[in-house]
Amino acid sequence: MVFFMHTGFAFLEIGLTREKNTINILFKNIFIITGGLLLYYAFGFNLMYPGFEEGDMGILKFAGFGIAAPEGGMTAAYADGGYTWWTDFLFQGMFAATAATIVSGAVAERIKIGSFMIFTLIYLGLAYPIVGAWKWGGGFLESWGFYDFAGSTLVHSVGGWAALVAITLLGARIGKFGKDGESKAIPGHNIPLATAGVLVLWLGWFGFNGGSVLSADPALTSLVLVTTSLAAASGGFGAIILSTVLYKNMDLTMFLNGILGGLVGITAGADLMSPNEAVVIGFLAGIVVVLGVALVDRLKLDDPVGAVSVHLFCGIWGTLAVGLFGDKAGSGQFLTQLYGVLIIGAFCIIISGILLGGLKATLGLRVSKEEELEGLDIHEHGMDAYPDFRMNQH
Amino acid sequence: MVFFMHTGFAFLEIGLTREKNTINILFKNIFIITGGLLLYYAFGFNLMYPGFEEGDMGILKFAGFGIAAPEGGMTAAYADGGYTWWTDFLFQGMFAATAATIVSGAVAERIKIGSFMIFTLIYLGLAYPIVGAWKWGGGFLESWGFYDFAGSTLVHSVGGWAALVAITLLGARIGKFGKDGESKAIPGHNIPLATAGVLVLWLGWFGFNGGSVLSADPALTSLVLVTTSLAAASGGFGAIILSTVLYKNMDLTMFLNGILGGLVGITAGADLMSPNEAVVIGFLAGIVVVLGVALVDRLKLDDPVGAVSVHLFCGIWGTLAVGLFGDKAGSGQFLTQLYGVLIIGAFCIIISGILLGGLKATLGLRVSKEEELEGLDIHEHGMDAYPDFRMNQH
Amino acid sequence: MVFFMHTGFAFLEIGLTREKNTINILFKNIFIITGGLLLYYAFGFNLMYPGFEEGDMGILKFAGFGIAAPEGGMTAAYADGGYTWWTDFLFQGMFAATAATIVSGAVAERIKIGSFMIFTLIYLGLAYPIVGAWKWGGGFLESWGFYDFAGSTLVHSVGGWAALVAITLLGARIGKFGKDGESKAIPGHNIPLATAGVLVLWLGWFGFNGGSVLSADPALTSLVLVTTSLAAASGGFGAIILSTVLYKNMDLTMFLNGILGGLVGITAGADLMSPNEAVVIGFLAGIVVVLGVALVDRLKLDDPVGAVSVHLFCGIWGTLAVGLFGDKAGSGQFLTQLYGVLIIGAFCIIISGILLGGLKATLGLRVSKEEELEGLDIHEHGMDAYPDFRMNQH
C-alpha cells in the first residue's frame, strides 16, 4: 500500500499542473520509484540501519553493494514477528522515494530533468538515510528521545526542506507573478486526477502509518488507523472552512491539501494520540496548510502543488505536536522535538543548498524560456500526454 | 478497501455526468467522506451500537461526543477475534458514507450544495444509524430474524430510498425530457473514469462483504469472495444481454451498472448462497437494473448515474432473495425480509421526505437555471476541472 | 490484488490507443473479466486441476458444470494452510483472464468484437487450462521438472503467442506503415492513464507473485516481493537506457513497458532468485522489450501496446532464466525450460491459428475500413468516451 502512494503522488502532481508538462512529471515519478528502489537497495538501506547497533550514526558505514540479511532476518521472528527483513527493505525504500517525490511536485514545470535526476539520486541515497539513521537507525536523536512515529520530520520535512531550497533557487514559473508582483493562479489541468490522487494517498497512508507499527499488535494498529483517518478528515475541514471564510469560494484543492496536511500532521504521533487529539491536530494542520500557501505566495515563491505547505509546514507542526498532545506531551519532549526539527532542517538545507547550488552553477537547474512556454513534454520527451485532444484542436 | 470504494464512487459519478459539474461532484464526495467520518465519530456509532444490548432500539441513547470503547474493545478478542472496536468504527463509518454517496449520484448536476450538505449530515448522522440499530445494533428486526449480511437494505436501500425521494422533489435536469416528454440521453463525460470506478468498487466490495464476515473464518470469507465475484460477473452479463436485446447496442454503461447491481444484490446473502445461487441472483439483478432504468425513465424521473435502479431496486431484490435462495430460504424468511424492506422503506421515505421537503421550502434544493446551464463548477467553486482543454477550445 | 491488475491492464490499453476506440477496449476488458470468471467457474477450473491426480493431463476430464470442492477444500488446511479452495478458484480465474487481456491489447483498434469474444471464450476456456494442467495440474511438464513459478510461460506466453498469431492474421492498422513500408508511431491518447495502469499492474503483481507462494511462509513471500520489485525497477532502467541511447529521447512508454517486461521476466523464478539475480534478469528483460518492439516493427506487425514484446518475449526470457540463474540453474534445467517453452508455444500457435483462422474465414476478424477510420466506439457501441470534449470541438 505504501507503494500505491506513489500512484497517488503522480496523480496529484499532474492533476495540479499544466497539460504541457504531464509526461515530464510522470517520467520523474517513474524515475524516482525505480531509481530510488535500486539505489536504496544498492546502499541506502545499510547506511540507514547500520547493523542495528545503538548509537552508531552510520555515516561511515558504507557497506557497499547488496544487502546482507542479518541473522534471523529471513524469518518472521525479526521485528517482533510482524514481517521480515526483506519486507522492511521494500517498505523503507518506498519511504525514501516519498521524500524525493515531494521535491518533484514543488519544482514541477520548470526544472531540467537531468539536474533533477542527479539531485534526487544523491539526496535520496545520502541525505535521507543519514537523517533516518539519527533516529530510526538508533543514532543520537533516538538517544535524546526525539519521537517521530512514521516520518512527519524524517520523511516529509526531509523532502519539504529540499523543496523549499529548490523553489528558492529555481524561481517562479513564467506568468506566476504579475508585473506588480501580484500572484496569479495557474490552474491544474486535471482536477479529477488530483482528487483521485489524494484518495489514493489517504489509502496508502493507512499502510504508511499502519505498517509503521512494526508489530502485529491489532489494538495499536487499529488505533493508528483511526487517528490517521480522523486527522485527515478534520484537516480537510480545517482547510476548507478557513479557505471559504478567507476567499469566499469552496476551493476543492484546498480541501484536498487540507486532507494531506492532516495526514502529514498526525504521522509523527499517530500511535500516541487519542482520537479527540487526532481531530485537533488534523484540524490545525488544515489551518497551517491554508496559511502556509498564503505565506509561500507572499514570499514570491512558486510551489505548484503546495508541497512546502503540506509536507514541510505540517511536518513541523506534527512533530512539535508530539510535545503538546498525547502520551508524551510535556515541555521537555516539546524542546526535544524542536531541536530535532531544527537540526534536521539545518542539515537538509545545507545539503540540498550545496547540491542544488552546485547544479545551478554547472549544469543549470532551469529549462530555457522557450521550452518552459512550449512545454517540457515536447522538448524533453517528444511526446504529448493527450495527443488526440490536441490533434483535434488544431 | 471499503475506504477505497469512495474513490470508485467518485470516479463513477463524475464519469457519468457532464464536465461542467465535475468539481462540484468531487467536492460533495470529499465532503461526504470527511464529514461523514467526523460525524459518525461524534455520535453516529454509539447511536447505532448502543452498548450492544439486545432489543434496545437505540433511538434514545444519544451518548454524546466521543466513543467510549467497551471493555475488551481494544483487543482482538472483541468480535470473535477478527478485529478491534476501532477498526469496526472505521469500517462502519465508511459504510455510512456509502449511503450518502448513493444520494449524491442521483441528485448530481442540479442540487444546491449547501442543502445537500445539510441533508447528508442529518440523514447520515441520524436515519442511517437508527435503521442500523434495528438490525445490526440488536434491535427489533434482529429479533424477528431479518437477515441482511452486509447491507443490501441497511446501506444500499437506505441510500436508494433517499435518492428516490430527492430526485422526485428535485425534478429532472434541463434537457433530460423533450417537449413531448421523450427521454433524452445526457452522456457522461469520461467513460474510462466511470469504468475504472466500477472496477475499484468491485475490489472494494471484496472488503465490504469480506470484511462483514466479522471473524477470521477463512472458509466463510473465501466463499463470500466467490459469491460476490460471481454475482458481479453474472450481473454484468444479465444487464448487457437484456440491454443488447432491447436496444441493439452494446452499451458499456449498462454492463457496468449490471455489475454493480449484481454486487448490491448478493450483499444481503453473500454468506448464505452457493456459487450457483450467486450466479442466478446476480443475473437477475442485472435484469432488474435494465428494467429499473427504463422504469425510472418512464416515471419522468432523472437519475444521472442509475443509483435508484442499482442501489434501491437491486437492494430490495437482494434482500428478498435471502428468502428465496440459500441456507435460510423459506416463506417465513421471505415475509420477514419483505416486512423489513417495507418498514425501512417507509421510515426512509418519511425521514428524507421531511428533511428534503423542509429544505426545499426554506433554502431551496435546486440551483438557478443559469447556474445549471453554465455548470456548477464555475458558479459554486470558481474552478474548472480540465482548464487546459477548455482554454485551448476557446 | 490480482483482480486489480485488470484495472491496470484496462488503463494501459486505452491509454496507449486512440480516443475513438476507447469504449470498445473497455468493453472487451469488462467482458474478459466477467465472462472469464463465469467460464472458468463453469468448467475451466476442474479442467485445469483434475482432482489433483499426478500425471493426469486433464484433457478428457470435462467435469461438467460447477465446482465440487474436494474433501477439506473449504478449510484453510488445504494448500498448506494459506487459503481455501474457493480463494484458489478466484485467484486462478483472474490468472486466466490475464492471458486473454494480453491478446486484447495487441488486437486493439481493428478487431471485430464478436469474433474476439468467441475466440476469447474458447481459448480461455480450453487452451489455457489444458496448458495449465500440464504443469500446475500435475501433468507431464510437472513430471519433467519444468519450472514456472507464477506464469511467465503459463500465463504470459500463452497470451503472448495468441497475440502474435492474431496480429499476423489481422494485419496492421490503417496508417501504421507508410507507402515505403516505414513504421509510423500512432501515439496513445491518454499517457497519464497508461502510467497509472503500469503502477497498478506493479501493485497487482505483488499479489500475483506473492499469492503464488501458496503458503503462509513469510520469509519466502517477502523474498518474492523484493525480487519482483527489483526486477520491475531494473527492467524500467534497462529499457529507458537502451531506448535513450538508440532513439535519443526519454520515451516514457518504453520506461513503462520495461517495468512490465521486468515483471514478466521475474515471474517464472521469483522465488528462486537472489535480489542481485532479480536485478540482472529484470535489466535484461528491459533490453528484450526495446529490441522486441523493434523486431515486431521490422516484421511489419502492428502491436499497439507492445504486448508481444512484453508478454511473449519477456515471458520466454524469464522462463529460460530459471535455467541460467538461481537455485535451479543448470544445463539440464535450461533444456527442460526450453522444451517447455517450445511445446507450449507450438500448442498455442496451433490452437490460436485454428481458432482465429476459422473465424477469419467465416465471421471475419477485422472491422470495415470505414469503421476503423471513424472509430469502433460509434459503430459498435453508439457511444463516445469523452463526449463533452468532442462536442466542444465540433
Of B192, B222, B259, nearest to C87 by CB-CB distance is B222
Residue in A closest to C199 by C-alpha: A7
* Cβ <8 Å between B27 and A252: yes
One DSSP character per residue, A46-68 reads: HHHSSTT-TT---TT----SS--
Q: Is B5 on the interface with A (CB under 8 A)?
A: no
Please state, in angstroms and rounded to a whole number, the distance separating the CA atoms of residues B191 and C23. Answer: 7
Q: Which residues of A touch B23 (CB under 8 A)?
A: 191, 252
At A20-75, the pLDDT tens digits run 999 999 999 999 999 888 887 876 565 565 544 333 333 333 333 333 334 333 33
Residue bearing the bigger pLDDT, B124 or B355: B355
For residue B129, what pLDDT is reported?
A: 84
The interface residues of chain B toward chain A in range 153-192, judged by CB-CB distance below 8 A, are 190
For residue A215, what pLDDT is reported?
A: 61
Query: Which of A214-218, C26-30, C36-40, C96-100 shows the highest mean pLDDT?
Result: C26-30
- Among residues C22, A199, C27, the alpha carbon closest in space to that of B9 is found at A199
Write down the residue that cell numbers 453554465 correspond to: B374
The interface residues of chain A toward chain C in range 116-145, judged by CB-CB distance below 8 A, are none
C-alpha distance from residue A369 to each of A287, A380, B29 (Å):
36, 14, 39
Residue in C closest to B207 by C-alpha: C1
* Cβ <8 Å between A10 and C236: no
* Cβ <8 Å between A189 and B66: no
Phi-psi region for residue C81, left (φ > 0), alpha (ψ -120 to 50) or beta?
Answer: left
Please state, in angstroms and rounded to a whole number, the distance separating the CA atoms of residues A268 and A325. Answer: 11
* Cβ <8 Å between A4 and C199: yes
Report chain B's mean pLDDT, rounded to a whole number: 85
> What are the counts of helices (DSSP H) followed by strands (DSSP E) for chain B?
18, 0
Residue type, A391: M
Contact C140, C59 (CB under 8 A): no
* Cβ <8 Å between B20 and C388: yes
Please state, in angstroms and rounded to a whole number, the distance separating the CA atoms of residues B129 and B151. Answer: 12
Q: Which residues of A touch C19 (CB under 8 A)?
A: 388-389
At C11-58, the pLDDT tens digits run 999 999 998 999 999 999 999 999 988 887 876 565 565 544 333 333
Contact A199, B10 (CB under 8 A): yes
- Among residues B38, B108, B45, B365, the alpha carbon closest in space to that of A241 is found at B38
For residue B140, count CB atoms less than 10 angstroms from its CB and return exposed for 0-12, middle for 13-18, buried for 19 or more: middle
* Cβ <8 Å between C38 and B230: yes
* Cβ <8 Å between C234 and A389: no
C-alpha distance from residue A159 to each of A106, A118, A259 (Å):
10, 15, 18
Residue bearing the bigger pLDDT, B51 or B155: B155
Q: Which of A21, A241, A252 is most worth mutating to test chain B (most B CB atoms within 10 A of its CB)?
A: A252
Residue type, B66: G
Local confidence band at C319 (pLDDT 50, 70, 90 cut-offs): very high
Local confidence band at A334 (pLDDT 50, 70, 90 cut-offs): very high
Q: Where are the alpha helices (DSSP H) in B212-274?
A: 218-247, 252-267
Q: What predicted TM-score, i.e. pTM, was given to this entire model?
A: 0.90
Contact B313, B104 (CB under 8 A): no
Return the DSSP state at A241: H
For residue B68, what pLDDT is reported?
A: 38
Contact A252, A195 (CB under 8 A): yes
Query: Is it the case that residue A309 has pLDDT exceeding 70?
Result: yes
Helix, strand or coil for residue A21? helix
The angle that helices B314-321 and B275-298 make with each other, rounded to 10 degrees, is 150
Q: Which chains touch B (3 or more CB pairs under 8 A)?
A: A, C
Return the DSSP state at A69: P
Average pLDDT over residues C321-328: 94
For residue A219, what pLDDT is reported?
A: 77
Write down the residue that cell numbers 537455485 correspond to: C327
Question: What are the φ and ψ backbone dihedral angles of B182, each rounded to 5 degrees?
Answer: -75, 145
> Which residues are CB-contacts of C294 (< 8 A; sequence separation ≥ 6)?
none
Contact B336, B330 (CB under 8 A): no
Q: Which residues of B touch A234 (CB under 8 A)?
A: 34, 38
Q: Which residues of C touch B203 (CB under 8 A)?
A: 3-4, 7
Residues in chain C: 394
Question: What are the φ and ψ backbone dihedral angles of C311, each rounded to 5 degrees?
Answer: -90, -40
- Measured from the Cβ of residue A315, the count of other Cβ atoms closer than 10 Å reads 34
Please state, in angstroms and rounded to a whole number, the distance separating the CA atoms of residues C107 and C305. Answer: 9
* Cβ <8 Å between B233 and C38: yes
Contact B30, A252 (CB under 8 A): yes
Average pLDDT over residues B3-31: 91
Local confidence band at C156 (pLDDT 50, 70, 90 cut-offs): very high
Please state, in angstroms and rounded to a whole number, the distance separating the CA atoms of residues B125 and C346. Answer: 63
Share of chain A above pLDDT 70, in %: 87
Query: Is it the case that residue A76 has pLDDT exceeding 50?
Result: no
Of B10, B90, B382, nearest to A225 by CB-CB distance is B90
Contact C270, C149 (CB under 8 A): yes
Q: Which residues of B touch A202 (CB under 8 A)?
A: 3
A42 beta partners: none
* Cβ <8 Å between A84 and C219: yes
> Which residues are CB-contacts of B16 (< 8 A; sequence separation ≥ 6)?
B105, B188, B194, B253, B304, B305, B306
Please state, in angstroms and rounded to a whole number, the distance separating the CA atoms of residues C357 and C369. Answer: 20
Residue type, A272: L
Of A41, A380, A388, nearest to C189 by CB-CB distance is A388
Which helix (H) or strand (E) element contains residue C263? Answer: helix C252-267
Q: Which chains touch A (3 or more CB pairs under 8 A)?
A: B, C
So what's the ipTM on this one? 0.87
C-alpha distance from residue A246 to each of A176, B112, B346 (Å):
21, 21, 43
* Cβ <8 Å between C236 and A30: yes
Contact B323, B129 (CB under 8 A): no
How many Å is the maximal CA-CA distance in chain C?
64
Average pLDDT over residues C60-67: 34
Write down the residue that cell numbers 461526504 correspond to: B32
* Cβ <8 Å between B279 and C382: no
How many domains does chain A contain in total?
1
Contact A187, B23 (CB under 8 A): no
**Enclosing domain of residue A177:** 2-393
Contact B170, B367 (CB under 8 A): no
Average pLDDT over residues B355-371: 96
Please state, in angstroms and rounded to a whole number, the distance separating the CA atoms of residues C252 and C240. Answer: 8
Q: Which residues of B touch A249 (CB under 8 A)?
A: 380-383
CA A287 to chain centre: 19
CATH number for position B164: 1.10.3430.10
- Among residues A168, A20, A43, the alpha carbon closest in space to that of A93 is found at A43
Q: Which three cell numbers stand for residue A125?
A: 541515497
* Cβ <8 Å between B259 and C385: no
For residue C123, count CB atoms less than 10 angstroms from its CB and return exposed for 0-12, middle for 13-18, buried for 19 or more: buried
- Among residues C217, C233, C312, the alpha carbon closest in space to that of C271 is found at C217
Q: Is C387 on the interface with A (CB under 8 A)?
A: no
At B139-168, the pLDDT tens digits run 899 899 999 998 999 999 999 999 999 999
Please state, in angstroms and rounded to a whole number, the distance separating the CA atoms of residues C256 and C236. Answer: 6
**Closest Cα in chain A, distance from residue B19 (Å):** 10
Local confidence band at B213 (pLDDT 50, 70, 90 cut-offs): confident
* Cβ <8 Å between C196 and A85: no
Query: Is it the case that residue A244 has pLDDT exceeding 90?
Result: yes
> Which residues are CB-contacts of B303 (< 8 A; sequence separation ≥ 6)?
B105, B106, B163, B167, B293, B296, B309
**Closest Cα in chain A, distance from residue C203 (Å):** 7
Helix, strand or coil for residue A203? helix
C-alpha distance from residue C364 to each of B29, B36, C118, C357 (Å):
46, 54, 12, 9
The interface residues of chain A toward chain B in range 215-244, judged by CB-CB distance below 8 A, are 218-219, 222-223, 225-226, 229-230, 232-234, 236-237
* Cβ <8 Å between B380 and A195: no
CA C38 to chain centre: 19
Please state, in angstroms and rounded to a whole number, the distance separating the CA atoms of residues C388 and B21. Answer: 11
* Cβ <8 Å between C249 and A26: no
* Cβ <8 Å between C11 and B196: yes
Query: Is it the case that residue A394 has pLDDT exceeding 70?
Result: no
Helix, strand or coil for residue B366? strand
Contact A198, B10 (CB under 8 A): no
Q: Which sign, positive or negative, has the C-alpha torsion B310, B311, B313, B315?
A: positive
Q: Which residues of B touch A19 (CB under 8 A)?
A: 388-389
Return the DSSP state at A313: I
Q: Which residues of A touch C285 (CB under 8 A)?
A: none
Query: Is it the case that residue B236 has pLDDT exceeding 70?
Result: yes
* Cβ <8 Å between A7 and C200: yes
For residue C61, what pLDDT is reported?
A: 37
Residue bearing the bigger pLDDT, C312 or A390: C312
**Closest Cα in chain C, distance from residue B68 (Å):** 35
Share of chain B above pLDDT 70, in %: 87
Q: Is B373 on the interface with C (CB under 8 A)?
A: no
**Closest Cα in chain C, distance from residue A339 (Å):** 36
Share of chain B above pLDDT 90, in %: 61
Q: Which residues of C touch B225 (CB under 8 A)?
A: 86-87, 90
Q: Which three cell numbers stand for residue B99?
A: 449511503
Q: Which residues of B touch C96 (CB under 8 A)?
A: none
Please state, in angstroms and rounded to a whole number, the distance separating the CA atoms of residues B286 and B258. Answer: 4
Q: Which residues of A touch B67 (CB under 8 A)?
A: 275
Please state, in angstroms and rounded to a whole number, the distance separating the CA atoms of residues C264 and C266. Answer: 6
The interface residues of chain B toward chain A in range 291-350, judged by CB-CB distance below 8 A, are none
Q: Which three cell numbers stand for residue A370?
A: 522557450
